[in-house]
């Protein structure tokens, strides 16, 4: 891989490309792609940290040298001269910054995030914020969700072994297999046949916690491309009905393709009308009938940092001001589908309280809902996920559970 390819890939990232898109933009494929992905991840993981120390250092290859110096790695004199970096001076500058920093700036510097992100993490996780960031900047293992409507975990594991893909059972989800080898997922017949999907264990667990019933509809109010939707369909087998809703026709088309591969015949897909559009008859008939409604709300996404290391650079004060209002509106609108004795599951892939507890508190106050304690909805085999079963919130964390970060509340109507 050349320096020009690294420059090209980093320019793509700065324009908003994902890491995979950046590799494509740089024309890097094959074995070199793994090296480029590692370099891009390192640049992202050290971006905020380095910006406070060397704000004018922009060349990616020079920034990589500086980050290796800060990490205590051995760097040759030739590399230092070429990058024009004083290793001792750089380390001393950071030491001085940390010595005069308050707790928020210290976390921001050591965890390489903005001060706003650091402040929200401290408010949400307290002393666990540093461990959260240390775990989140590491690449996540590849997790698969078994399509249990079509096969079993044991049968799929054996099938994948025959196809040359080694896996082991997941830690928490009964549907999970963890790929033991690194690198991208190789093509397999099992995937083409719809026997599994790629899905982190935390995301699988959110679907499990919905607890869909075979006797009444389950609504996924923010279905997107359908990872949790398809998990709900698989859990129900050929029974029940899952209704996937989203405002994006493009995402729903992707869901339909995935559902066809998975043979999820208990799925119904509807695009949500935009403001001013009339609700179609099938949606009017669904009002007040769902036993379970999942609101996997759009969020800051910091919980997926292990998989999307570019997400932290997109979180700013404007986004964090806008999201809670959007999340509250979506959850409030989703109540129209819930029957009187039904349950609303509110989940986000972020640990931030302002996107979770604060939104739920307003939802409770304004709509007469009651948050349920974990003992009422956390399955017995998952009780080890929580330390306080009287709490109404489950927070999955990479440094505690080895998963992406997700926060889950379950609510019912009062009265």
Which residues are catalytically annotated? 349
Quick one: 213 exposed, middle or buried, by C-beta within 10 A (0-12, 13-18, 19+)? Answer: middle
| Helical spans, DSSP H, in 335-381 | 357-367
- Interatomic CA distance for residues 261 and 249, integer angstroms: 19
Q: 10: closest CA among 1, 23, 2? A: 23
Beta strand 290-296 with 218-220: parallel, antiparallel or unpaired?
A: parallel
Quick one: 298 exposed, middle or buried, by C-beta within 10 A (0-12, 13-18, 19+)? Answer: middle
What stretches of 203-312 adopt beta strand conformation (E)?
218-220, 242-246, 267-271, 290-296
Specify the residue for token string 């992905």: 37
- Interatomic CA distance for residues 53 and 382, integer angstroms: 44
**Which residues partner with 197 through β-bridges?**
145
Phi, psi of 57 (to 5 degrees): -85, 110
Helix axes 19-26, 31-45, angle to 10 degrees: 130
Phi, psi of 240 (to 5 degrees): 65, -170
Specify the residue for token string 């991840």: 41
Phi, psi of 199 (to 5 degrees): -165, 125
Number of residues assigned to the chain: 415
Q: 140: closest CA among 185, 108, 196, 206? A: 185
- Residues 78 and 279 sit within 8 Å (Cβ to Cβ): no
Residues 6+ apart with CB under 8 A from 277: none
């Amino acid at each position: 891989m050349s320096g020009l390819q690294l420059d090209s890939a980093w320019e793509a990232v700065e324009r908003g490309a994902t890491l995979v898109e950046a590799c494509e933009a740089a024309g890097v494929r094959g074995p070199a792609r793994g090296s480029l992905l590692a370099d891009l991840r390192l640049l992202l993981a050290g971006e905020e940290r380095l910006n406070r120390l060397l704000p004018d250092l922009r060349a990616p290859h020079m920034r990589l040298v500086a980050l290796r110096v800060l990490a205590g790695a051995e760097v040759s004199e030739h590399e230092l001269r070429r990058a024009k970096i004083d290793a001792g001076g750089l380390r001393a500058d950071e030491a001085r910054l940390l010595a005069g920093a308050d707790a928020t700036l210290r976390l921001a510097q050591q965890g390489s995030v903005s001060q706003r992100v650091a402040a929200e993490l401290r408010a949400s996780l307290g002393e666990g914020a540093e461990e959260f960031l240390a775990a989140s900047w590491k690449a996540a293992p590849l997790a698969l969700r078994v399509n249990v409507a079509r096969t079993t975990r044991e049968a799929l594991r054996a099938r994948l072994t025959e196809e040359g893909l080694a896996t082991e059972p997941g830690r928490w989800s009964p549907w999970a297999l963890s790929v033991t080898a690194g690198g991208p997922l190789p093509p397999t017949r099992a995937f083409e046949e719809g026997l599994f999907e790629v899905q982190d264990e935390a995301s699988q667990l959110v679907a499990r916690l919905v607890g869909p019933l075979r006797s009444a509809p389950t609504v996924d109010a923010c279905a997107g491309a359908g990872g949790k939707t398809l998990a709900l369909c698989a859990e129900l087998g050929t029974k029940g009905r899952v209704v996937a809703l989203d405002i994006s026709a493009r995402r729903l088309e992707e869901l339909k393709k995935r559902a066809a591969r998975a043979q999820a015949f208990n799925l119904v897909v509807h695009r949500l009308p935009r403001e001013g559009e009339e609700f179609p008859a099938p949606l009017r008939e669904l009002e007040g009938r769902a036993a379970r409604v999942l609101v996997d709300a759009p969020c800051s996404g910091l919980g997926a940092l292990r998989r999307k290391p570019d997400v932290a650079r997109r979180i700013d004060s404007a986004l964090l001001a806008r999201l809670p209002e959007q999340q509250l509106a979506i959850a409030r609108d989703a109540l129209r589908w819930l029957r009187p004795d039904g349950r609303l599951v509110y989940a986000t892939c972020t640990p931030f309280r302002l996107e979770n507890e604060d939104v739920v508190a307003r939802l409770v106050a304004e709509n007469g809902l009651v948050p349920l304690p974990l003992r009422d909805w956390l399955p017995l085999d998952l009780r080890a996920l929580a330390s306080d079963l009287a709490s109404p919130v489950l927070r999955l964390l990479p440094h505690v559970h080895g998963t992406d970060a997700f926060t889950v509340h379950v609510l019912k109507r009062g009265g």
